[in-house]
Structure 1
Amino acid sequence: MLELAYRARRPVLLEGPTGIGKSELVRQLAERLGIATVVLDLSLLEPPDLVGLPVIRDGRTAYAAPSVLPQDGAGILMLEELNRAERYIQQPALQLLSARRLHEYELPPGWVCFAAVNPESADYQVTPLDRALRARFLNLNVRADRASWLAWAQVNAVHPGVIALAQAHERILDDVPPRTWTYASHVLGALRAEELADGVLLRDVLGGYLPPSWVELLLASKESWSSRLPFDLRALLADYGPNSPAGKALRAARERGETDRFDEVTTRLAPLLEGPEVGVLAAQRKLSLGAFEALLADLPGDHRERLQDALGGNATATVLIDVRPEELLQNYAGSAAEQKVLAWRADPVRQHRVGLLVTALSAHLAQQAKLVEVRRSNVARACLGQVLAQLPERWALRLAAALKKHGVTPIRPQ
């Protein structure tokens, strides 16, 4: 939606609690589009900082535009703290947002203004924006989303302890905004080994950012803080291969007998693969089944199965496979879908694809209208019987349990 607003050159008003990532959303959009960003914190500005200083030209008063305002190119001018600014800053800012000009200055055609505000509630000291002003903008409410933040955290060097805590607690962003967790991560990353062993210091430092309950939960997970892996999880899920840096590192570890490296890979990856952030990574094309399967080929069997179970049972990851549930419910025998299922079953490093298909089919049957159709159709139930007969045991048991739950009796092949 932000990209659409940029293409239409329409101003956007992002509203959400402090520290939630409003500016980061804009920065990521600009990075994706290959355009510039200029950020102005209006709460810190005086009128000349935005309007410019008056000068005399040809006997008339004009205004010299501040150098911070863009003169050419393309980008997003981000105006922070619009409703915390003084009225004498709000008025020219709103003119820039809505009319794209200030006195003689005009925003270049390739630029658009976005603004960020905090909610008009008792939690914030803000100057309310009237409805007439709001009507000039595309108004978007921004909220914290754990899955999206975890996907971001995985590739932005957020401390492993914070990531592990976020994976384990769904409400982690309810009390503490994403930015504060990022600050806590920076502090943890800067601590020396002897400082990490000092419980008093840790509580004092982390307590400067986090409520006591979250400090204790974070300290209780200290075993997850250290990472001996010379690569991040993004490398494993996005572009792992025999000749990738991560691939070479894991193979070298295997040759040296360092099995704890494989334990750490599995321990760190499994919660991610089970969680909702997988759907975000898949949508952003930062999770490749090819890379994941190349990794599985380098892992011992028990580690491989744990990761396959984690991904195969994740409903947000079903978009990664190219067989849809409907293909299993009619004309299945001899179909392209059957050939794929048989190929996946025969390949130890691709059996999670069977799991994803079972998960997708279970979700399909959970829709009441679809369920009624399947219960009434002998063809669909016969197809399900054929599918069950072809699945690896652990996935067949999961599908059988789902069918029993939904009252569907498959017709077994003779």
Structure 2
Amino acid sequence: MLNFVWVAFILIGFVAAVVQLLQGDLAIFARVLSALFDSAKTGFEVSIGLVGIMCLWLGIMKVGERAGLIELFARALSPFFRCVFPGIPKGHPAGGSIVMNFSANLLGLDNAATPLGLKAMRELQEINPNKSVASDPMVMFLVLNTAGITLIPTSVIAIRQSLAVEQGLAGFNGADIFLPTLVATFISFCAGLFAVAWVQRINLLRAPVLVFLAGFVGLMAALYWALSGLPPDQLAQAVGLLGSGVIFSLIALFVAVGAWRRIDVYDSFVEGAKEGFGVALQIIPYLVAMLAAISVFRSSGCMGYLLGAIEAVVRWAGLDTDFVPALPVGLMKTLSGSGARGLMVDVMKTYGVDSFQGRLAAIIQGSTETTFYVLAVYFGSVNIRKTRQALACGLFADAVGLVGAILVGYLFYR
């Protein structure tokens, strides 16, 4: 699918450029080529800017892992997941792997979440009576994975911080999307949970589920109530303070508990930081490739035509059109995380990382998931051919999450 999207961007852009050349625009190829080279440079610079931040974060998470805090966090979530996955026998190792996978996703650790998720799928396959057809627990697991709650969108914050430096925004706080992203991703998570529960006739009216959902809703309502009376500029500042405060408090907690339990905090940090270096460098070719294709599509005028058509429909419906430039990020995210990341960077560079469009693109990127990729990788790892309702429920959660992200963006930044 990503190959199809990439080739389509390049070839459609080329055809559009040829049409403009025939109409007398002799500079069109020069503009496209210039944009192509600039996008390659941007992709490299953004990826390199991630190295230090990813090293820092994965180093801290390694400390938290060895201090036992991540495992403790997983245990706290286990009652909820036992209700949501009634088909998993009590005490089966798949339950623990699922909890650890969601814990890693919650903390924004995509590189740690994927191996745990693949392990959970192998363990779920062991209790699957039909090895070529997805079981009920598999469908629930995959849908919740594609709509999982993200507490800390680490890579999005890192990219925003890097672009803010490039755009000369001194003192910019890349974590100011913390609360809006949490709200938007919770909406998507609930949509996926309710859709699968309805299909599988799972009773969600149980204490652990109600406590979990009520706790999240109560927390977000309390935060919004406390912040809703502020003007937009002060609201953005307060949300940024909250996000940075939570993240730094988490870092301090991991280090303090690690020191109290007498683990070698420094060596643990360095070991995790080595992983962060590899992760940051690994995305360079993917980001450069997608930014290059997007630049051809945009500089040839195709992106303008597409957004213009969407904007015309939105305006015809009597709605505000400021969200339209960020909309392609959500549409691409179901197909490709790197493609959506490239579109997000493009929006931030075009409108500014501190603009409404830039913030909305970051919220969408941080609160949605690569549904097709996740389904292909996870089901493919255990040779599942019939995925049943997984795709339909996953796309439903994505659609609800995208609408929720747009509404949350207006709620916090308008």
More helix by share: 2
More strand by share: 1
TM-score (norm 2): 0.22
Rg larger in structure:
1
Higher relative contact order (CA 8 A, sep 6+): 2
